[in-house]
Structure 1
Amino acid sequence: MSLPLLLQGLGSVGLFASRAFLPAFVTALMLRFGPQIPWLAQAGLLSQVRDVPTWFTSDIALVVLGLLAALELVAGRVPEAKLFLDEVYGYLKPAMAVLTYLGVLNATDRAAVGRLIQEAGFLEYLPVLAVAVGTMVAVQIRGPIVAPLVDHDDLGLQKLLGWIGDLWGGLGPLALIVFPLLTVAVFGFAVFLLVLVERRVASQREKGQVPCINCGRPIDPCALACPFCKAPVKEPKNVGILGQPTNRPANIASLPYQLVAVKRCPVCATRFTQRGPRQPCLACGYRLMDDVEFAKGYIRFIDRRVPFVCFLSFLLGLVPILGIIPGVITYRLILIAPYRRYLPLGHGLLLRWGVRLALVVLVAFQWIPVAGGLALPSMALLNYVAYRSVYRNLILIS
């Protein structure tokens, strides 16, 4: 096996940790048409490409991979579709990494693929297994870093990571084929950074816990009771808008609602994992929103945020163009996220798309002085009424 082909296998681990179909499509395009471009034909792995098109670079394969890549890009922008992708990516990404590696191997050394199929020895399968296992590990490393941002997508952080992932998945295969050694080095450094960040996050999470005064086991500093022994906590800490504990003592009356707003259990502050408004806490067993009075109180608690957010949105809206970004982040984080985090997959989809179309019209007036100040609070109210209505119907009517 040649060095460029070995580097291709190693580099694909970093590529497919981000996307499944886009790197495969770009790789197939490069193998099919790269040798026909004079200044690329002798670069990196392309100098070893023989007898294309193959099954991986055929017209049908390119059309199918292109459609799947396009669907992947679109699905990444739709929260409901992205949730489905996240469920299957753990299996899909390693499978596509192996398929792409075999496609590259077939385009550069058909005899090697023939031996792999006919002999089926362990050593022959070792590179393929390494690609599959490496991709699975990379996906698992990436998951704990990216997953916490799902709850705070209203900040735009996950969307930014989405664009970076698209860029990585689109340009990475080109760089890997043309500059394999440099690209693998960059991928290796990126994986190293991810491991460091993962350990840092885990370390900070453990440092943030405090021992229960009754049983001594570590609990969240914002918890009202220990999930293990059920002992009440006398002085829980307040919870921040992103779900992080603060150093200030909490208001016991409002803390349960604050915790639910950041998708945490109102008793033990453990993070909820499901999308539905009614779900059990995995730590203490508390069933969210089974109490109708608590559900009504939660909606009233979020309602009380509306005047302040609308006033702040008005002030930010007075700044043409530049004010819209912090304004949208503010109202989505404070008003919309407490409901949106609990909406099931696909629920209220038509209503939300209708709201988005109305927002496009309002954005058109944001640059106009004074009118821009009214446009942003109108956007906040329109969004809030829509999400509140869907959420209220789920917990009080259905």
Structure 2
Amino acid sequence: MSVVQIVTIIGSIPLFSLRTFLPAFLTTLLLSYPEYFPGLENVPPIPEEAFISRDWVLITLGALSLLEIIGDKSTEIRNLLKNAETYLKPIFFLAINLSLLDETSVEVLQEVQWAAFDPLWILLAFGSLLVHWLATVRKDFLDFLEDIDEDDNLFIGRITSWIEDSLVVFGFLLLIWTGILMVILYTVAIAFFLFMRKRHDRKIEEQMLVCPNCGAKNLPFAVKCVNCKELQPKIYAIGIFGQKKEKLVSNIQKHQLNLISHRKCTDCGNKLESNRLFQNCHFCGNAHFQSPTVKEFIKNQDKKFYKIAGLSFLLGFVPVIGFLTSAVLANIYLFSPYRRYIPKGSSFLTKLFIKFLTFLFFLLGIALGFIAAPAYIVLRYTIWKKKFTSRAGKPADSPARNNEV
């Protein structure tokens, strides 16, 4: 086992933890057509009879990479695949790295006994486990970003996806030219990310407030204790991204309506597991939408709608920027609170239709924003409100059905 093989295997670990097919496609492309890569024009390609160099393998991996890049920009597709990716990525990592073994190593591996613990197998097994672990860390990070911007209103998910694509391509080229430097850089980057994650977890822990009645720890925007259900003396307001604001709550019902908008329990403030309207919090057992009710929540959303629709008319007189500002405000304060209670699969076609309308309204908003912005908000608000109210009347979302479960 050569130093080059060791560096290649270790260096490909972070690449496969970010993407499943793109690193595999780039590796296959390099081995089949090294002349396409700067500085490798004189490197001979691998033999045509090698499995990894076959045209159909290259075409298949290229198509899958393209679908992966496009699909990762969609919140629905990303959420659908992120659980499976933690297992697919180590499998592809192992398959591609086994294909990189030279003929001598292959002959040795064909005859080696498992009890001999060949170092290469140990390295590949360690690498596969590390890819799985890093992919799981990435999934947790994406879940954290989704809590901040669940519907990608601020394009956080899309920007993150493009950054990951760039890191894979950049990391692959760096691995070819200076493999050891790439390993060092990505090791430092992963260590920094884990440090920031622990720092965030520590900050959340520090924000927890102790219940004076029973001593249990509660979120800073909890109305009642998660353990003894006692009303908390200090209740902090919740921000638009679900963060703690340095402001104490004066109107509890208004605060609870804000918690509902974030799909959080109106008592303990924890995130609700399901997108069903009527459910019991898995932390404190509180019945969701018992108080405030669905009607009170819709009435509160309607008040926001009138304010933002009026504001959008004024903002519409500012070309482009006015329309975009209105769209972002409406997404955060009007549409997302409804969308969080609608299954992502059932709203996929609706979102495609809305994206088409958004494009048309955006074109109109370049010159006639004072018309396009309010019309855009009225149309989208009507669509999401109708889908939300239809779920409120479904048997699966009724309080009676919830109590049976």
SS at match of 1:309: helix
Structure 2 match to 1:141: 137
For 2:332 and 2:207, the matched residues in 1 are separated by 23
**Contact 2:211 2:217 survives alignment (8 Å):** yes
Q: 1:275 to 1:185 in 2, by over 3 A?
A: farther
Structure 2 match to 1:158: 157
Structure 1 match to 2:267: 267
RMSD: 2.3
**Contact 2:94 2:124 survives alignment (8 Å):** yes
For 1:14 and 1:308, the matched residues in 2 are separated by 47
Structure 1 match to 2:400: none
**Contact 2:253 2:292 survives alignment (8 Å):** no
Kindly state the Cα deviation for residue 72 of structure 1 after the two structures are TM-superposed.
1.4
Matching of residue 8 in structure 1 with residue 27 in structure 2: no
Structure 1 match to 2:372: 375
SS at match of 2:70: helix
Kindly state the Cα deviation for residue 279 of structure 1 after the two structures are TM-superposed.
4.1
User: What do the CA deviations read for 1:132-171 (whole angstroms, capped 9, x no partner)?
Assistant: 1111222233333332211312121111101111222334
Matching of residue 113 in structure 1 with residue 106 in structure 2: yes
TM-score (norm 1): 0.90
Kindly state the Cα deviation for residue 128 of structure 1 after the two structures are TM-superposed.
0.9
For 2:185 and 2:390, the matched residues in 1 are separated by 49
**Contact 2:207 2:219 survives alignment (8 Å):** yes
Of the structure 1 ranges 258-267 and 174-183, higher mean CA displacement relative to structure 2 is found in: 174-183
Kindly state the Cα deviation for residue 63 of structure 1 after the two structures are TM-superposed.
1.9
For 1:146 and 1:350, the matched residues in 2 are separated by 23
SS at match of 2:33: helix
Q: 1:377 to 1:51 in 2, by over 3 A?
A: same
Matching of residue 396 in structure 1 with residue 393 in structure 2: yes
User: What do the CA deviations read for 1:180-214 (whole angstroms, capped 9, x no partner)?
Assistant: 12222221121012111101110111111110111
Kindly state the Cα deviation for residue 396 of structure 1 after the two structures are TM-superposed.
2.1
For 1:297 and 1:273, the matched residues in 2 are separated by 22
- The letter of the residue matching 1:258 is N
- Compare relative contact order (CA 8 Å, sep 6+) and give the higher one, 1 or 2: 1
- The letter of the residue matching 1:390 is K
Matching of residue 255 in structure 1 with residue 252 in structure 2: no
Q: 1:38 to 1:248 in 2, by over 3 A?
A: closer
User: What do the CA deviations read for 1:234-253 (whole angstroms, capped 9, x no partner)?
Assistant: 34222111111222222111
Q: 1:41 to 1:270 in 2, by over 3 A?
A: same
Structure 1 match to 2:51: 55
Kindly state the Cα deviation for residue 334 of structure 1 after the two structures are TM-superposed.
1.1
Kindly state the Cα deviation for residue 49 of structure 1 after the two structures are TM-superposed.
6.0
Q: 1:275 to 1:132 in 2, by over 3 A?
A: farther
SS at match of 2:4: helix
User: How many residue pairs end up in the alignment?
Assistant: 388
Q: 1:214 to 1:91 in 2, by over 3 A?
A: same
SS at match of 1:343: coil
Structure 1 match to 2:401: none
Q: 1:200 to 1:323 in 2, by over 3 A?
A: farther
Kindly state the Cα deviation for residue 24 of structure 1 after the two structures are TM-superposed.
1.2
Structure 2 match to 1:362: 361
Structure 2 match to 1:66: 62
For 1:155 and 1:342, the matched residues in 2 are separated by 19
Write out aligned runs for 1:19-30 (5 A). 19-30=19-30
**Contact 1:23 1:173 survives alignment (8 Å):** yes
Structure 2 unaligned residues grouped into runs of 5+? 396-405
For 1:325 and 1:181, the matched residues in 2 are separated by 45
Structure 2 match to 1:87: 83
- The letter of the residue matching 1:391 is F
SS at match of 1:238: strand
For 1:197 and 1:298, the matched residues in 2 are separated by 36
SS at match of 2:224: coil
Structure 2 match to 1:131: 127
SS at match of 1:338: helix
Structure 1 match to 2:285: 285
- The letter of the residue matching 1:392 is T
SS at match of 1:247: strand
For 1:37 and 1:361, the matched residues in 2 are separated by 41
Kindly state the Cα deviation for residue 120 of structure 1 after the two structures are TM-superposed.
4.8
User: What do the CA deviations read for 1:255-280 (whole angstroms, capped 9, x no partner)?
Assistant: 22111111211110011233444443
Kindly state the Cα deviation for residue 299 of structure 1 after the two structures are TM-superposed.
1.7
Q: 1:316 to 1:119 in 2, by over 3 A?
A: farther
Structure 1 match to 2:193: 194
**Contact 2:268 2:284 survives alignment (8 Å):** yes
Of the structure 1 ranges 55-64 and 136-145, higher mean CA displacement relative to structure 2 is found in: 136-145
Structure 2 match to 1:225: 224
SS at match of 1:229: coil
Of the structure 1 ranges 159-168 and 279-288, higher mean CA displacement relative to structure 2 is found in: 279-288
For 2:57 and 2:85, the matched residues in 1 are separated by 21
Q: 1:327 to 1:8 in 2, by over 3 A?
A: farther
**Contact 2:34 2:45 survives alignment (8 Å):** no
SS at match of 1:97: helix
Q: 1:316 to 1:68 in 2, by over 3 A?
A: same
Of the structure 1 ranges 48-57 and 26-35, higher mean CA displacement relative to structure 2 is found in: 48-57
For 1:351 and 1:157, the matched residues in 2 are separated by 21
For 1:225 and 1:23, the matched residues in 2 are separated by 49
Structure 2 match to 1:241: 240
**Contact 2:280 2:288 survives alignment (8 Å):** yes
TM-score (norm 2): 0.88
Residue identity over aligned pairs, in percent, reads: 26
For 2:372 and 2:244, the matched residues in 1 are separated by 34
SS at match of 2:146: helix
